[in-house]
Amino acid sequence: MLHRLKFLIPGAVLLAVPGMAQAQASNQIELRGTVTGACGLGAPDTNVIDLHDLTGPDGLLDPAKTGNTVLGTATIANAWCNAPHTLSLESTAMTVQRNIPYAQPTYMARRVTYNATLLGWPVGTVIRPRNDHDLATIIVDHEYAAPAAGLRLQISKLQTLATGNTEQAGLMLEPGNYLGTVTITLAAN
């Protein structure tokens, strides 16, 4: 124990001697990083919204499918943008998926339009496609993340399209499978 005290005492004496004081030196180092504007969009809970048979008992578009009742929904979780951004909704009318070797009769339809409504963003968006690649775009001037439930795409209000892509009720539908698409895009500005 005595031996240890001999070493401790000289160390304490050295610190107390004024001429032996050490100057302090320091340097500041900055930490830098960047965050680019970005958006994310999770996978939808379904890739297909099946509207089943579109016709009623008379071969015309089923009247139960022409109103505001939601016929199908897809939910997209994890939608966000950390900067000002653009939300785009691009859609195509539902079109019969077979080659038909004759001109479309005036009393029949080969295309069906619908309301595609996107909910869960600061501004709700509705598109009603009559052509291929119809586009609705909104510009949001701030960041945003969808609520926990996510974005909801709802399909409603079907209607037959005559030649020239004008809506016309009372047209009989050509037989076959009908296919339309809705594409949702988030892009940082």
Q: Which amino acid is at 12?
A: A
pTM recorded for the entire structure: 0.83
Give pLDDT tens digits for 129-161. 999 889 999 999 999 999 988 999 999 999 999
11 vs 86, residue with greater confidence: 86
Q: Which of 127, 130, 122 is nearest to 160 (CA)?
A: 130
Whose tokens are 């099946």? That residue is 50
pLDDT digits (tens, 9 = 90+) for 46-62: 999 999 999 999 999 99
| The predicted structure's pLDDT at residue 149 | 86
Whether residue 13 is contained in a domain is answered as no
Tell me the CA end-to-end span of the chain in Å, nearest whole number. 73
Whether 6 is in a domain gets the answer no
Is residue 59 situated within a structural domain? yes
Q: Is residue 107 situated within a structural domain?
A: yes
> pLDDT band at residue 124, thresholds of 50, 70 and 90?
confident
- Is 11 domain-assigned? no
Q: Please give the C-alpha separations between residue 152 and each of 5, 43, 158, in angstroms, as whole numbers.
A: 77, 12, 18
User: How do beta strands 111-119 and 85-96 pair?
Assistant: antiparallel
Q: Is residue 4 scored above 60 in pLDDT?
A: no
- Total number of domains in the chain: 1
- Residue-wise pLDDT for 91-121, tens only, equals 999 999 999 999 999 999 999 999 999 999 9
Does any domain span residue 170? yes
Q: Is residue 10 part of a domain?
A: no
Residue 8 has pLDDT above 50, yes or no: no
- pLDDT, tens digit, 9 for 90 and up, residues 18-47: 556 678 999 999 999 999 999 999 999 999
Is pLDDT of 16 > 70?
no
In a domain, 55, yes or no: yes
**Domain containing 83: what range?**
37-188
Euclidean distance between CA atoms 155 and 114, whole angstroms: 7
